[in-house]
Structure 1
């Protein structure tokens, strides 16, 4: 198939593009940086330099490629170090998830591309009810105020792509880890700058970036329209996974901090994720996509990541 991959040099794209090429797909891969063109070409893709917020340029690039599938992986998170002010940290990504999504949908309509596979997130789920969510569970009606715009942008992709594309697919990824994905978190754990907040009862679902890429490729090739949780098989509370990450990283155990103290220091969003987050089930993706993560648990995945 002819596949148009945006955000192709990101943490996931750097695995996805070579995988698609190896499977025999014709890949057009976009980047905002001319300095990354050579790497995309070496990976076997046809590189295009384009700003996802430039509507005319996006449409022109898609018209030239005539793809059968568009993959929306555009973010601007490479230098993000703090989640204290989420809406500020995610401002550029919010634009890519709203205006950028609209640009890709307009390009798809112009060219007749039926299938769009877009990056979502499991942050979309309500922080009520059971600890592990399926794709049928309700979305969060009341996100944290400091993250309201970021959560609205995630929800925009989640709602707009399935509604507007003829074959719209949203992949609700868990928290990425792996080379190039979560180095600030690992650095913070090693410096004991990532405490367990409250009881550490928030449940997280992780996904290693290469595993996320194989799931994305499976969705490109054979997913029915709709939403899929792309996570490993081991959702776990912060109080379980954070000490383990510190241990395999050779760090001292994480400190503990009450929620009231963490709020002014780390922000309400971080406190909510540490104490009230919900994990996700990957049963639908494993069954419908025929996909199995190489690292079914963050336990073996964290060990491989830290080992480098």
Structure 2
């Protein structure tokens, strides 16, 4: 458990992506921790309105403001990507958008820059039984041009986070999100039986409940070490189908149809995700940030979500 509280002070935070699924959880958790949060986004609910892809508009929006911490939780996704092309806007946001936000962070005098990264940066495919740590290679060369595009964007995002002069960069490599505001998107698909999933056949992925993810960001704001990445996931890696089955069972919805993995190939990005086996170690986050998941498994997290919803 981390005991160094020297960085625990109330911060003035610019939160990019404040109106997104993760961003809403972050705004709540940071505010409850005593920090002053100003949202940055394209929607009317954001405190400062700007598009990260519009450098000049972004710099105009932040002109005259001062923040000591900037958090990059902006997303280009409005729904789960199925094909590789569905990730193109996200890749651009990870490269150009991050470069623009880093420049904005320097403009507002920020010292700390925290970015939302993800475990797929370790590579798509079979990682075996070994829990991947932050010391393992991040952003290996992709096994296809499409996967290389995604991995190159993740490499760039972390490079900008860590290598920008004057910024204390920290990256949180999250597992797949679920929970309030995220899992809800599966409900209509399950009701209409429009969510076919292949058998896991031993494949597992890291997951993290959204409020747990938000608590990890608060911990990184307060106690994260500059220049470090942290894996953030629960204690129970689970196959994609197993996760969706938990959702169906917990909320009384029809079970998804099982299909062969090869049948998912037209959904090229989903196929890459569902073909991956990946376990990650969160020992570093637990040791240095003092963070542990309140929801150690999908089943526990969904049960809590169901109680809250009820």
Q: How does 1:219-234 map to 2 (within 5 A)?
A: 219-225=220-226, 226-234=228-236
Match of residue 19 from structure 2: 9
TM-score norm. by structure 2 comes to 0.85
Instruction: Give, in whole Å, the separation in 2 of the partners of 1:305 and 1:146.
Output: 35
TM-score (norm 1): 0.85
Report whether the alignment pairs 1:173 with 2:174. Answer: yes
User: Unpaired segments of 5 or more residues in structure 2?
Assistant: 1-10
CA deviations 1:105-152 (Å, max 9, x no partner) are 222334442210011111111334433321112233225544443332
Q: State how far apart, in whole Å, the 2-side matches of 1:13 and 1:81 are.
A: 17
Structure 2 residue aligned with 1:115: 112
Summarize deviations over 1:32-79 as a string: whole Å, max 9, x none.
112x24xxxxxxxxx11111122223234444221111101111212x
Contact 1:190 1:250 in 2 (8 A): no
Correspondence 1:101 to 2:111: no
Contact 2:64 2:108 in 1 (8 A): no
**Structure richer in helix, relative to its length:** 1
Are 1:30 and 2:40 an aligned pair? yes
Do 2:200 and 2:242's aligned partners in 1 also have CA atoms closer than 8 Å?
A: no
Aligned to 1:211: 212
Aligned residue runs from structure 1 range 154-303, under 5 A: 154-165=154-165, 166-225=167-226, 226-238=228-240, 240-264=242-266, 266-267=267-268, 269-303=269-303
**Larger displacement relative to structure 2 (137-146 or 115-124):** 137-146
Provide the C-alpha distance between the structure 2 equivalents of 1:184 and 1:286, rounded to a whole number of angstroms: 30
- Structure 1 ranges of 4+ moved more than 6 A: none
- 1:11-46 CA deviation, whole Å, 9 max, x = no partner? 111122132223332222112112x24xxxxxxxxx
- Count the aligned residue pairs: 293
Q: Tell whether the 8 Å contact from 1:74 to 1:93 is kept in structure 2 after alignment.
A: no
Structure 1 equivalent of residue 77 of structure 2: 77
Contact 2:172–2:232 at 8 Å: present in 1 too?
Answer: yes
CA pair 279-145 structure 1, distance change in 2 beyond 3 A: farther
Query: For residue 3 of structure 2, what is the aligned residue in structure 1?
Result: none
State the SS of the aligned residue for 1:302: helix
Aligned-partner Cα distance in 1 for 2:255–2:286: 34
